[in-house]
Amino acid sequence: MDSELDTSVEAGRDEHEDFVDIESEVDEALGNDSDDELARRARIRAAARTGSPVPLASLAAQIEEQAENEDSGDLPEGRFADRELSWLAFNARVLEQAEDQDLALLERAWFLAIFASNLDEYFMVRVAGLKRRIATGLAVPSASGLTPRQVLEGITEGAKELMTRHAAVFANDIRPKLAEEGIEILHWDQLDTRQHEGLRKMFRSDIFPVLTPLAVDPAHPFPYISGLSLNLAVVVRNPGTGKEHFARVKVPPLLPRFIAVDDEGRPFRPEDVSLMKGRTAFVPLEEIIGAHLDTLFPGMEVVEFDTFRVTRNEDVEVEEDDAENLLTALEKELMRRRFGPAVRLEVAEGISDHVLSLLMKELDVREADVYRLPAPLDLTGLNVIHDLDRPELKYKKYVPVTARGLADVESSTPTDFFEAIREQDILLHHPYDSFATSVQQFIAQAAADPKVLAIKQTLYRTSGDSPIVDSLIKAARLGKQVLAIVEIKARFDEAANIEWARKLEQAGVHVVYGIVGLKTHCKLCLVVRQEEDGLRRYCHVGTGNYHSKTARGYEDLGLLTSNRDVGQDLTRLFNQLSGYAPRSKFHRLLVAPRTVRPGLLERIEREVENKRQGKEAWIKIKVNSLVDEKLIDALYRASQEGVPVAIQVRGICALRAGIPGLSENITVRSILGRFLEHSRIFAFCNDGDHDVFIGSADLMHRNLDRRVEALIKIIDPGQIRRLIELLDIATDEGTSSWHLEADGWRRVDVDDEGRHLTDIQELLMKNARARVKS
């Protein structure tokens, strides 16, 4: 062990006596199964489960000591869970969805794909960031008290356990059950002669021409392996000399991940599978290639081949202050992203030691970064299986309804949005309320209306065939003033957003990229219309992106309003984004990075003061992630004063709930289901005059300090009641959810008699359908 590690370990022991050293090299840990080592790893898992190096007993002792010292206003060390380990716990909840025997079978396969895709991004960004901080010497402890090395070891232990479990769920549960339903995912050697022959023909015509075998020898250096690509490591032998050679064959990413073949041996692409009759057999593309390696290396003997997959650091960093043209700088950075260092190597079980050693050496990865899994690798490809037309194996179809206030009954006649919004504020709840007949139609009407003079819009993520982008282009071509604030740095959508930014510019749209140093994450649309009594501004403020496809699967909220104060707020904010207005003041908006955190802290402290005065007090919050230490500490202090705090969080939660003397008045629930819970709600009792906001901001440093976010205050009494009721149902004991307890997350989906608890998403779909029928 090197001296740097020795120093950091001693520091960790001094700081956390109860936390046994988890900072030894992972390579040594994984190869040592002594009783002491097993105990050490058990403590690593315990720390990973709670996200903290401070055990509950130590935390309780601190709280008791501070309670005895009445003058102490300190909160205990170890009160924060680590954000990276908390995210891993979130993905474990996704995996539990795949394990849920009550879910429709193809949906369980879909959750396997989501788990794998989530983990890919996690390694590309978060794990890569940890490794970068360690390599550059910036390995300072996080708020949880864990050093980056400690966090990395916890991730390694947890991720290997979860990936092994993930593979086992597929191999031992979902795959056999799919076969029972006539959907077989087979290895090459499980196919019959006719199927082999049909796939051989397909290989020669459709696959062989696009393959490029790359030899590795003194004249051919080890090839670059792109991130997330699936590859074959091939060993061939020259029969004349007996010498073995290594080669790499990349599995073409543009070809289908699984190839379907019927009993007659006819292959089908995934989009044509509905034409097949009888049972459907799918074969991983890499196994078809592996079975035909002799055609790629004629005259050579194929000794072995193994599949492997590399995950690289693919986070993008652009120094905006030094970039004359942000688009150009980002495009260059996207090219560099392809060459980021490897952070994970997945290999199929059975790979030979000498091939694995070669891969590790050439890719510069340690044993701790190697994940041995049963084939097939890359189960993100199960999306292809999920897309099969087998409705009996999926969630029952749900058709979104038109929102309250936009149509009393479902009708083919378009609503006059301007008249409807003048009449009342309209609260939208997607996907229960249709995005297409609300937000999308609102912008389309604005683009076509001759009275509309200007449209201003933020675009963070949008789809490739976006109707909203088309509407903005139409509006510009009709001579309207159109402004698009395009966030081209939206992670992993950068290339698409560059393309759309240029398309908008070519149509005459004024495209700007927000404020230097800040991502524009707020979801805003402002329409300026000339009416008989003067100009009127129509606004949409939302919690989700203007993305017509994800709007069908993401749970989000939005407000359509022509309120004068909101119109002034959006005008000022758009001026701030497109020009120079750093000191803008707002009526109904809280805007990060200046006023979201202070505004929320002020309201939390008001609830504490009201509680002290004997007034009614409570706090209810729904977010995707809760990490910000200042806000968490404020919630802890509210809990200590007896203020009930109810939190619904989908993903990361750095708050430790249910700890006596600290957070016994805080309940934290997490809901996962067919729709991705994405909306943000902040509700405060305010002595009965309820104070409620919705908006784009999660409670994370990046949202509160490095992004432009907007929360809007809801003022309609009926809408306030509706949002509070939504929070109450989500955190109710009778609702199926995951509960954050002192020692980690626990799923609670049945009552004491074994009856299923309420599924809030099913309830909301049922209520939406009933509204249409009534």
Q: How far apart are CA 572 and CA 580, in angstroms?
A: 10
Binned at pLDDT 50, 70 and 90, residue 16 comes out as: very low
Please report the pLDDT score of residue 413 as a whole number.
63
Percent of the chain, pLDDT > 70?
A: 85
Note the Cα 134 to chain centre separation in Å. 25
Q: pLDDT, tens digit, for every residue of 606-630? A: 999 999 999 999 999 999 999 999 9
Judge whether residue 44 has pLDDT over 70: no
Range of lowest pLDDT (175-179, 427-431, 572-576, 626-630): 572-576
Which residues, at least 6 apart from 466, have a Cβ–Cβ distance to it below 8 Å? 500, 546, 547, 548
Please report the pLDDT score of residue 583 as a whole number.
67
Percent of the chain, pLDDT > 90?
A: 61
Judge whether residue 329 has pLDDT over 60: no
- Phi then psi for residue 536, to 5 deg, are -130, 140
Q: How far apart are CA 277 and CA 292, in angstroms?
A: 27
Judge whether residue 492 has pLDDT over 80: no
Mean pLDDT of 682-704: 96
Question: The whole model's pTM is what?
Answer: 0.88
Range of lowest pLDDT (155-164, 491-500, 642-651): 491-500
Please report the pLDDT score of residue 743 as a whole number.
85
Binned at pLDDT 50, 70 and 90, residue 351 comes out as: very high
* Identity of residue 496: A
Range of lowest pLDDT (450-454, 518-522, 563-567, 709-713): 518-522
**Which of 218, 209, 315 lies closest to 255, judged by CA?**
209
Range of lowest pLDDT (399-413, 539-553, 662-676): 399-413
What pairs with residue 648 in β-bridges? 622, 669
Higher-pLDDT residue of 102 and 60 is 102
Which residues have a catalytic role annotated? 521
Range of lowest pLDDT (395-404, 486-495, 735-744): 486-495
- Note whether 125 and 315 are within 8 A (CB): yes
Please report the pLDDT score of residue 94 as a whole number.
97
Q: How far is CA 576 from CA 515, 573, 582, in A?
A: 8, 5, 6
What sign does the dihedral 349-353-355-357 (CA atoms) show? positive
DSSP strand pairing (426-430 vs 452-459): unpaired
**Which of 295, 2, 15 lies closest to 134, judged by CA?**
2
Mean pLDDT of 361-367: 91
Q: How far apart are CA 556 and CA 604, in angstroms?
A: 24
Q: How far apart are CA 458 and CA 141, in angstroms?
A: 36
Residue carrying the six token digits 């700007």: 512
